[in-house]
Structure 1
Amino acid sequence: MTVLQAALAAGAGPLYVSEPRAARRTLAPKCGADEVIDPAEMDPVSNIDSETNGGADVTFEVAGAEQSVAQALASARAGGTATIVSIFEDLIRIDLNNVVMPEQTVVGTAAFEGGPLSRREFGTTIRTFATGAFDPEPLVTSRIILKTSWRTGSNVSWMMTAMKSRFWSGRERRDPRKTTLLCRGIPLHNGN
Structure 2
Amino acid sequence: MRVLGIDPGLTRCGVGVVDVRPDRSATLVHLGVVRSPVDAPVAERLVVIARGIRAVLAEHAPDVVAVERVFAQQNRSTVMGTAQAAGIALLVAAEAGLPTATHTPSEVKAAITGYGSAEKLQVQTMVARVLRLDELPKPADAADALALALCHAWRGAPSVPARGEALTPAQRAWAEAEKRAGSRGAVAR
TM-score range, shorter chain: 0.3 to 0.5
The higher radius of gyration belongs to: 1
Normalized per residue, which structure has more helix?
A: 2
**Greater relative contact order (Cα < 8 A, sep 6+):** 2
Q: Report the TM-score when normalising by structure 2.
A: 0.32
TM-score, normalising length from structure 1? 0.32
